[in-house]
Amino acid sequence: MNIGIIGAGAMAQTLAYHINRAGHDVMLSNSRGPESLVSIGQALKCRTGTVLQAAQFGDIVALAIPLWAFSAIDPAPFENKIVLDLLNYFPHRDGKIEILDRGETTTSEMVAKHFVGAKLIKAFNAITVDDLYRDPRPRGHQIRRALPIAGDDKTAKEQASLFINDVGFDVVDVGPLADGWKIERFRPAYCVAMDKETLFRTLADTSRGTRVPDGYWLKHRPITLV
């Protein structure tokens, strides 16, 4: 499978490393163009291209850019594609977004509104880049970490789940994009390493009033991966 990645920073490079290991082909891109990505492409042994080339290349396309940046991207080449949305909201980086602060929408619903016609799946949001590097385990491994996903398209969710399994994680379906708040910052499932059963239970116990302090994941790690 071909995976295009919009972004070439920490998350994009870490994901590219595991995608390569899983036997898929990957292309990274950024706003400055492939000439700025030569050494990264060589180090990761992956393709590099423009945002348009990465979008066209991917059977699945991952958005791995800051939240503030998505609205400047032309949505046309993403139409009908499975698009993984990694974006999280950090007011100090992205600016204050009142509708998110008031809980009237979720980051992924905002992104989906922009990428009209794309099959958007919220994925890889609830894992830190360090964990994304070290936690993948092959299918059938004794203990595996599970990652939550949300999305409105059932078939796209199934395909995204297969891909995430290839990368090295079990998957738990949170529900539609509108339920994406359950895995955003300050929720118990955000960035905490759990197996499938624990994540499933944690999500079932998460209501609008369930909040945890920032950095909760640093002190809570229900699974130990071997």
Ligand X SMILES: NC(=O)c1ccc[n+]([C@@H]2O[C@H](COP(=O)([O-])OP(=O)(O)OC[C@H]3O[C@@H](n4cnc5c(N)ncnc54)[C@H](OP(=O)(O)O)[C@@H]3O)[C@@H](O)[C@H]2O)c1
Binding site for ligand X (CB under 6 A): 6-12, 29-32, 51, 64-67, 69, 72-73, 86-88, 125, 128-129
**CA dihedral angle for residue 224, residue 180, residue 201, residue 140, rounded to 10 degrees:** -50
Angstrom distance (rounded) from CA 133 to CA 149: 18
- Nearest distance in Å: CB 128, ligand X: 4
CB of 133 to ligand X, least distance (A): 10
Q: Which is nearer to ligand X, 155 or 218 (CB)?
A: 218
CB of 90 to ligand X, least distance (A): 6
DSSP 174: E
Residue 82 vs 191, nearer CB to ligand X: 191
Please report how close the Cβ of residue 155 comes to ligand X at its closest, in angstroms: 24
Q: Which is nearer to ligand X, 73 or 172 (CB)?
A: 73
Minimum distance from residue 213 beta carbon to ligand X (Å): 17
Nearer to ligand X, 72 or 155 (CB): 72
Alpha helices (runs of H) in 62-104, residue ranges in sequence order: 91-94, 98-101
One-letter amino acid of 1 = M
What separation, in Å, do the N-terminal and C-terminal C-alpha atoms of the chain show? 28
Q: Amino acid identity, residue 69?
A: A
Contact of 64 with 6, CB cutoff 8 Å: yes
Tell me the closest approach of the beta carbon of residue 142 to ligand X, in angstroms. 26
Of the two residues 6 and 172, which places its CB atom closer to ligand X in the complex? 6
- The CB-of-79 to ligand X minimum distance in angstroms stands at 18
For ligand X, the nearest residue by Cβ is 9
Closest listed residue to residue 64, CA positions, set 136, 73, 180? 73
Sorted by sequence, the CB contacts under 8 Å of residue 209 that are 6+ apart come out as: none
Nearer to ligand X, 37 or 226 (CB): 37
Supply 115's token pair. 């990428």
Return phi, psi of residue 28, to 5°. Answer: -95, 155
Task: Give kind and range of the element (H or E) at residue 39.
Answer: helix 38-44
Output 12 or 83, the one with its CB closest to ligand X. Answer: 12
